[in-house]
Amino acid sequence: MAEEVKYHIRLSKGMLQGAVYAVLPGDPGRVEKVAKYIDPNGAIFLAANREYTSWLANLSGKKVLVCSTGIGGPSTSIALEELASLGIKNFYRIGTTGVIQPDIKLPSIIITTGSVRLDGASTHYAPIEYPAVADFELTKALVEAAKDVGVEYHVGITASSDTFYPGQERYDTFTGYVPLRFQNTLKEWQKLHVLNYEMESATLLTLVSVFGLRAGMVASAIVSRIAGETPSDEELVRAEDNLSKVIRKALQIRLEAE
Ligand code: URA
């Protein structure tokens, strides 16, 4: 009988060749680059459907899946469901982020220990009191990797919002209006020592804990909401390179420890 191919990600168990680690960028356009950075000579294309593009890489004698999630919680939840049912046990999201603390410089790396759940998808899996926390071992490997690579990094709490605009209190929108629920929230998160905004970690960290599996989260800071800065093209390339270096090293640490 032919193997089941998962509905959205179009992958089957056999295609993963025993991989238990997955790297999850949001952008399908980054999957090939990341897979080839991890494994310059042997990375192979597996599938592409909607926002889900997958490549398989080798590292330290083991297989690593790189699969995009698309933007935001709903599409991320689909990827997590289908990947978990194919045997993935460790999920590393890599992404981009906007920082909200004045002492964080661009480009630097943000390693998330836990997320403020400003998403909707995670509430379909666990009540809002349930924490969105990262796995300790996966996070430790990210910190060791960032030190080893020599990039500036910060470790702490992320606000993870379903929307890029109102949920992250942006006023440069079509209406220019931010609903009351989100007015002054940037200041509030800043006072509560939240480091940054992104859009998928609340869903990732909640669902993976609910599944009894493990997740880590690392992002490259490309916007400062305090300094109103955006990096140059050159800095953006450097930020992406830093992230690839950190995730490759973190995977190596984990794969060699197992
Ligand atoms: N991603 C986000 O969600 N917010 C930012 O400001 C930058 C990247």
Q: Annotate 136-170 with b (16+ C-beta within 10 A) or e (fewer).
A: eebbbbbbebbeebebebbbebbbbbbeeebbbbb
- Identify the three-state secondary structure at position 18: coil
pTM equals 0.97
Name which residue sits closest to atom 6 of ligand 1, judged by CA.
Answer: 98
Helix (H) / strand (E) element for 67: namely strand 62-67
- Of 37, 85, 49, the residue nearest 249 (C-alpha): 37
What span, in angstroms and rounded, lies between the C-alpha atoms of 134 and 210?
12
Q: Is the beta carbon of 252 within 6 A of some atom in ligand 1?
A: no
Encode the chain (258 residues) as per-residue pLDDT tens digits.
789 999 999 999 999 999 999 999 999 999 999 999 999 999 999 999 999 999 999 999 999 999 999 999 999 999 999 999 999 999 999 999 999 999 998 889 999 999 999 999 999 999 999 999 999 999 999 999 999 999 999 999 999 999 999 999 999 999 999 999 999 999 999 999 999 999 999 999 999 999 999 999 999 999 999 988 777 888 888 888 999 999 999 999 999 999
Q: Is the beta carbon of 165 within 6 A of some atom in ligand 1?
A: no
Measured in angstroms, how far is the CA atom of residue 55 from the centroid of ligand 1? 25
Of 71, 99, 100, 164, the one to substitute when testing ligand 1's pocket (max ligand atoms within 8 A of C-beta) is 164
Q: Are 39 and 58 in contact (CB under 8 A)?
A: yes
The type of residue at 111 is I
Q: Is the beta carbon of 153 within 6 A of some atom in ligand 1?
A: no
Q: Which domains does the chain have, with CATH numbers?
A: 14-257 (3.40.50.1580)
Q: Is the beta carbon of 202 within 6 A of some atom in ligand 1?
A: no
Q: Is the beta carbon of 110 within 6 A of some atom in ligand 1?
A: no
Write down the pLDDT at residue 230: 74
**What residues act catalytically?**
8, 82, 170, 225
Of 204, 223, 243, the one to substitute when testing ligand 1's pocket (max ligand atoms within 8 A of C-beta) is 223
Phi first, then psi, for residue 117 (nearest 5°) are -85, 85
